[in-house]
């Protein structure tokens, strides 16, 4: 009898370990590429399908360079963010149909008609919000008229970010409202000498026009039409590698607010962000969140490099994994819209037409994709659909956000805070105009808190394992009775 009990207990432990392994994230990095089953390496270093293959999917660490979905080519656009939140697509359900909208979001959006603008909000203990273009820009000019957030630990930003983590930044530290930080990265390589500052008047109180003008051989950063910094490509030449460490690959534009001073951030990040964030600041009480505001954004596309390979006009694709510079990019006619969240770039490459039921992965997303806490807002979940925008039944925005307890340490999820007069106005905004998702998305390569989509195959296996464990427990109980 004791032998049987021991054997069953051992079997139960084995099943528990198997179940844990099935739910564990699959990480991807320079020494570990994604498996074919979950071939896409997200910008946060985890493998999956669907949205993992769209939103800054990193081809360097994916199963193959065509695992990531082709990138929609740049198109000139001009956006006024007046009464605009309903036109922004939810990044959690977006399948790369760039013709459907110019922008996607993760986090929390609020229309602010008093200033013909849109708020990107960061409720208490959240990761903030991020607004991203649906198309990629391969050299061009982007300008945005916006107000940053404020207070220590709160970071606002406007950046260009590529799939291989080329990056051009304008960032605002809430503790220093007269300084605008500029920075650039090449393929995610951290180089702390790349940063330089510009000065302006209070970025929280005043709208300013911020511009990044990105050419093949130089970049300028400007405020209100005045160039504050110029970087030339020839300044970035690495004599050892023979490579220009200059941002040179197609990038999305992202505007965001995120808690750099969160307790889960690295000490150096907290110090850079102006210290620990105060989650009990007056903004958290009224209107119920930190915030930034964006009023307008304009994108002008430049011609691609003269020697670019062309086999169409629809999408950018990587053709070589040698060094992931601009020489490895082609303009093609490859499709870039996924049929469902189980699809990857490999489906498009093979011309596959898999039915959702035959897919390897579920179209469901984790309800708190970047959360480091199992807790989430009861009020939010009861009032909002995870795939619809206007189902809020709460009577105030403040009550909507007051119960948000999802923790995040990630970069580039945005929020803004305001003066008391503006806060009162914002808190009276009709809650039906509030757009929310349970995912806080970031664009930084330093984030590691995102969780891989749970796959149908894993879910079925876990269900069976849990059932077997329950049977074993029942047998043990009967034997011991």
Annotated active-site residue 421? The verdict is no
Q: Is 361 exposed, middle or buried (0-12, 13-18, 19+ CB in 10 A)?
A: buried
CA-closest candidate to residue 412, choices 194, 225, 132: 132
Active site residue 171: yes
Q: Name the nearest CA neighbour of 299 among 331, 255, 258, 256.
A: 255
Distance CA 392, CA 124 (A): 18
**How many helices (DSSP H) and strands (DSSP E) are in the chain?**
8, 25
Give 90's strand partners. 105
Q: How many CB atoms lie within 10 A of CB 277?
A: 28
Q: Which among 36, 115, 167, 216 is annotated as catalytic?
A: 167
- Residue from 18, 21, 115, 171 carrying the catalytic annotation: 171
223 DSSP β-pair partners: 210, 226
Measured distance between the N- and C-terminal CA atoms of the chain, rounded to whole angstroms: 12
Kindly give, in sequence order, each residue whose CB lies less than 8 Å from that of residue 383, ignoring residues fewer than 6 positions away: 391, 392, 393, 394, 400
149 contacts 290 by C-beta, under 8 angstroms: yes
Catalytic residues: 167, 171
């Amino acid at each position: 009898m004791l032998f049987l009990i021991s054997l069953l207990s051992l079997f139960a432990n084995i099943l528990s370990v198997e179940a844990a392994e099935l739910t564990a994230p699959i990480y991807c990095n320079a020494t570990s590429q994604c498996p074919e089953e979950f071939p896409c390496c997200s910008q946060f270093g985890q493998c999956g399908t669907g949205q993992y293959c769209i939103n800054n999917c990193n081809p360097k660490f994916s199963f193959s360079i065509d695992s990531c979905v082709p990138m929609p080519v740049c198109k000139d656009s001009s956006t006024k963010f007046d009464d605009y939140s309903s036109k922004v697509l939810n990044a959690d359900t977006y399948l790369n149909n760039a013709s459907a909208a110019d922008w996607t979001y993760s986090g929390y959006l609020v229309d602010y008609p008093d200033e013909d603008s849109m708020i990107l909000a960061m409720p208490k203990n959240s990761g903030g919000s991020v607004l991203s273009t649906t198309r990629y820009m391969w050299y061009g000019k982007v300008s945005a008229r916006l107000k940053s957030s404020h207070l220590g630990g709160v970071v606002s930003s406007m950046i260009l970010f590529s799939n291989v983590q080329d990056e051009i930044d304008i960032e605002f530290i809430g503790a220093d409202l007269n300084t605008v930080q500029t920075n650039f990265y090449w393929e995610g390589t951290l180089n702390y000498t790349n940063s330089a500052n510009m000065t302006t008047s209070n970025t929280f109180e005043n709208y300013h026009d911020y511009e990044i003008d990105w050419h093949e051989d130089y970049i300028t950063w400007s405020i209100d039409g005045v160039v504050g910094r110029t970087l030339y490509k020839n300044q970035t030449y690495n004599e050892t590698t023979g490579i220009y460490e200059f941002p040179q690959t197609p990038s999305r534009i992202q505007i965001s607010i995120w808690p750099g001073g969160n307790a889960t951030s690295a000490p150096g990040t907290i110090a850079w962000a102006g210290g620990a964030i105060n989650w009990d600041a007056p903004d958290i009480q009224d209107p119920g969140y930190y915030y930034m505001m964006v009023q307008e954004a304009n994108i002008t596309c430049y011609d691609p490099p003269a020697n670019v390979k062309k086999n169409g006009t629809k999408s950018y694709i990587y053709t070589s994994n040698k060094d992931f510079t601009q020489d490895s990019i082609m303009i093609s006619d490859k499709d870039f819209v996924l049929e469902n969240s189980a699809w990857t770039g490999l489906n498009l490459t093979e011309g596959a037409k898999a039915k959702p039921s035959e897919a390897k992965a579920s179209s469901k997303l984790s309800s708190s994709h970047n959360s480091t806490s199992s807790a989430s807002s009861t009020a939010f979940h009861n009032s909002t659909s995870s795939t619809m925008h206007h189902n809020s039944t709460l009577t105030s925005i403040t009550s909507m956000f007051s119960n948000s307890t999802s923790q995040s340490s990630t970069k580039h999820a945005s929020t803004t805070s305001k003066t008391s007069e503006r806060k009162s106005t914002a808190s009276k905004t009709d809650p039906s105009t509030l757009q929310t998702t349970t995912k806080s998305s970031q664009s930084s390569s330093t984030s590691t808190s995102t969780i891989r989509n749970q796959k149908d195959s894993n879910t079925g296996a876990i269900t069976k394992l849990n059932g077997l464990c329950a049977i074993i427990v029942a047998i043990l109980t009967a034997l011991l009775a």
